[in-house]
Structure 1
Amino acid sequence: MTREIHGTVATGFEAVREEFAAFVAGELPDYEGQLCAYVHGRKVVDLWAGEGNDAESLYGVLSSTQGAAHLVVALLVQDGTLELDRKVTYYWPEFGAEGKAALTLRDLLTHRAGLIGLDTGFTESELADDRVIAERLADQRPFWRPGTAFGHHAFVIGALTGEVVRRATGHTLREVYEDRVRTPYALDFHLGLPEALEPRFRSVQPMAPTPKQQAVLDATPQGPHMLASIAFNTHVPGAGEPADHANSRLVRARGPASAGAVAAARGLAGMYAAAISEVAGRPPLLKPDAVAEVGQIHSVGHDLVTRTHLAFGLGFQATAETWYPFLGAGAFGHSGWGGAQAFADPRSGLAYGYTRRRCACPEGAAPENERLVRAAHTAALSV
């Protein structure tokens, strides 16, 4: 089945369009998605498909939100406002309760705190408010000894680091992001979606697993007291799919920094391009030493929450180790539960963003990203 592909690619990136078109042709009739890429600060791919979808449509990107949060922290570390090896309690004294006093900011950023959620869980309104999340977690006992292991702090990492940012600067993480990242580059990557932009939001929908995927899910241990249930807040009675989080207007309006952002692929790719490259005459947000620091692997191996092999740099996922081994060492970014993917590969100069409306199965970066990323990376190396 042939479906119309909209947008443009630069000379040399025709193979990316071909891969996107081939994938879309075999997808569900209601597929909607966007793909954008920059190389050395120049936009080289800008594609979209799906009825009612265009380049300015906005999607909930769930954990890809964390890229914005970690970029803010990286900028403040670069400035000298934050120090990675200081104890979190230096900035946030109340955090030291229940055996957390020795934890450093570096440990917190690298998902080693063991502070993945609450025994009793959060309400929907609490999950939309990073200040509330931080206040409640300050009193929570970690689920493993801090620093001894790691696990994805899926719904809380942005609240925890955001409270450090607020204590150190007097401004919220969202305010720093707006001032230093989103507004200067006019990025469609929003931590807090204004009411006026709501008409551009495309509701995120779950996708039913295939029989093979369902068999894997059925064989996966589950239970209300497991780490994954606590981290994704599914141990709370009546909790829905993670997609429900993105579909909440309250969440979109407040923009919690772990999973509450709304973005277009242009916004995702544009942020990572600005992080590593000159864009529109502006120098890169991160200096070479900072780029190397955020991309250096800090936590790698068995993730206690997802029970999969993962790797994290300073907050960001180590994209080559976790997802695409053909990328250069030091690639950093963050995928989203609904299928979104976004990263920077400093060695090739590639910055990549992908969004889709229906959540991928299995959850995480949608499988088609492997083909799309490979085509974009191959083309980037040739220019």
Structure 2
Amino acid sequence: MLTSDREAGEGTVHGQVHDGFEGVREAFAHVVREQPQPTGQQLAVYSDGVRVVDLWAGPGVDGDTLTGVFSVSKGAAYIVVALLVQDGVLDLDRTVSSYWPEFGQAGKERITLRQLLAHQAGVVGVDDVFTIEELADDRLMAGRLAAQAPYWTPGTAFGYHGLVIAALAGEVVRRATGRSLQDWWELRVRAPRGADFFLGLPEELDARYLPVTPAVPEPGAEEPEPESRKLLDIAFSTAHLPDLSVFPNFRLTRALGQGSAGGVASARGAAAAFAAVIGVLDGSPALLDPDTIETFTRIHSEGTDLVGGDESRFALGFQVLDARYDVLGADAFGHGGAAGAMAFASPARGFAYGYVRSRFALGDSADKENTMMIGEVVAAVRGRK
């Protein structure tokens, strides 16, 4: 049995939840009520093969609406790499340059694919930063990154390769297979599993795209400065992209499917992709086996992130989420996005979660939103067992 639409202050929460997930709907309604500006939001959860939560709210939004999900895109990139490692096509402990010879210069000769995925390579950008046109195109970035010297000794530290990690990993994929990371995502995951999570949005679907809007800070509010402003500016090419919120709104970004931050999805699509990975999507077999999941979700980098200056942890690309959301177990893996989106899977509890929003969140407000909703999801899933 399903429950459906409910008023949420000035907006209405649309959609459905299965019995037992009413608390998730209430948490989502609270999140909608608390928005300081109009925001499009969606929440979807798959549990044991069924979509048990399917909610949306906001002007111009329905369950099929697509929007930019920023670094949730990285989750798709890492799923592709994990599939190719599982297939035996890629080897985590081979050097990147063994696949991509041009990369093996300027102190990068011994960097392994494992170190690259763990954000340890030190190649977070280029000295004179990328233009917006280059940022939208993983191939163009890879060509310039091949000659760049690392910003720290590879393997000795880590820092978030925020806009380039999929360009780097994607060039390894292309050299090893002859196909792009985006092609593999479409062939192995998105199309066969019917997930509305695109790395390369077809023009005919652009009518479903809801542009991302920037947050409007309160008067006098200031964002904290990271310790290494220069490195952050290089990593995010702020000279040419001072406002990251507009990045997926460029048609070129969406068309090329920039793998680090240019993905476009609905909550249904983001949740479905991670549900497919662990085998809780409509009875389909899991894309990744338990050994591969364990390899890719083991902590590889922990401590101070040299780019952001904060304390952080990474597995092989995927974010380690149990410290961020303490109701989750160590098995949960996925990735968040700059506007506040989040997509992950919990193999032990048998569910996958997708949340997207069309307006950048202020400060840690999106983390608080996800904390509330994830808590209710976990409680509901436990109640079904």
Question: Which TM-score tier does this pair reach, normalised by the shorter chain?
Answer: over 0.9
Confirm whether residue 51 of structure 1 aligns to residue 59 of structure 2: yes
CA deviation map 1:37-64 (0-9, x unaligned): 1112321110001121000111101111
1:87-126 alignment runs, 5 A limit = 87-126=95-134
What's 2:5 paired with?
none
2:265 corresponds to: 263
Query: Does 1:156 find its partner at 2:170?
Result: no
1:286 is aligned to 288
Match of residue 35 from structure 1: 43
Please identify, of 161-170 and 323-332, the stretch whose mean Cα deviation from structure 2 is larger.
Answer: 323-332
Aligned to 1:346: 347
- Tell me the equivalent position of 2:242: 240
CA deviation string 1:136-160 (max 9, x = no partner):
0010000010001111100000000
TM-score by length of 1: 0.95
Residues 56-79 of structure 1: CA deviation (Å, up to 9, x unaligned): 111101111000000000000001
Output the amino acid matched with 2:203: E
Distance 1:185 1:378 in 2: 27
Amino acid at match of 1:354: Y
Measured in 1, the distance between the counterparts of 2:84 and 2:223 equals 42
Question: How far has the Cα of 1:192 moved from its partner?
Answer: 0.6
The letter of the residue matching 2:124 is I
CA distance in 2, matches of 1:346, 1:157: 25
Task: Report SS of the residue matched to 2:356.
Answer: strand
Whole-angstrom CA distance in 2 between matches of 1:216 and 1:75: 38
- Structure 1 residue identity aligned to 2:252: L
In structure 2, C-alpha distance between the alignment counterparts of 1:297 and 1:364, rounded to whole Å: 26
Paired residue secondary structure (1:344):
strand
Deviation string, structure 1 residues 165-185 (Cα, Å, up to 9, x no partner):
001111111111110000001
Equivalent residue for 2:4? none
Q: Is the 8 A contact 1:130 1:256 kept in 2?
A: yes
Q: Deviations over 1:283-302 (max 9, x none)?
A: 00001111111111111121
- RMSD (CA atoms): 1.5
Q: For 1:38 and 1:267, how far apart are their aligned partners in 2?
A: 11
1:305-338 per-residue CA deviation (whole Å, 9 max, x = no partner) reads: 11112111111111113x2122011211000011
Match of 1:303 in 2: 305
Counterpart CA distance in 2 for 1:156 and 1:363 is: 24
Q: Are residue 168 (structure 1) and residue 168 (structure 2) matched?
A: no
Gaps of 5+ in 1: none
Within 2, Cα distance between the matches of 1:153 and 1:114?
8
SS at match of 1:131: helix
Q: SS state of the match for residue 302, structure 2?
A: strand
Query: Secondary structure of the equivalent of 2:303?
Result: strand
Residue from 223, 228, 232 that aligns with 2:232: 228
Shift of 1:367: 2.8
Partner of 2:316: 314
Tell me whether 275-284 or 324-333 shows the greater mean CA deviation.
275-284
- What residue identity is the alignment partner of 1:293? T
| Residue 279 (structure 2) aligns with | 277
1:363/1:325 Cα in 2 relative to 1: closer, same or farther (>3 Å)?
closer
Query: Counterpart of 1:84 in 2: which secondary structure?
Result: coil
- Aligned CA distance change for structure 1 residues 127 and 364 (closer, same or farther; 3 Å): farther
Query: Which segments of structure 1 move beyond 6 Å, counting only runs of 4 or more?
Result: none
> Contact 1:340 / 1:364 at 8 angstroms: preserved in 2?
no
1:6 matches 2:6: no
Q: CA deviation at 1:278?
A: 4.1
- Asked if 1:327 is matched to 2:317, the reply is no
Query: What is the rounded CA distance, in whole Å, between the counterparts of 1:222 and 1:87 in structure 2?
Result: 28
Aligned length in residues: 376
Where does residue 252 of structure 2 map in the other structure? 250
Instruction: Quote the sequence identity (%).
Output: 49
Aligned to 2:218: 210
Partner of 1:380: 381
- 2: CA distance, partners of 1:155 / 1:40: 34
Give the equivalent residue in structure 2 for 1:189. Answer: 197
State the TM-score, normalized to the length of structure 2.
0.94
Letter in 2 for 1:268: A
CA distance in 2, matches of 1:123, 1:69: 22
Q: 1:121 to 1:48 in 2, by over 3 A?
A: same
Counterpart residue type for residue 277 of structure 1:
G
Distance in structure 2 (CA, Å) of the matches to 1:227 and 1:106: 22
Deviation at 1:221, TM superposition (A): 5.3
**Cα deviations across residues 210-230 of structure 1 (Å, max 9, x unaligned)?**
357x2443x55574xx11111
**What letter is aligned with 1:7?**
G
SS at structure 1 position matched to 2:59: coil
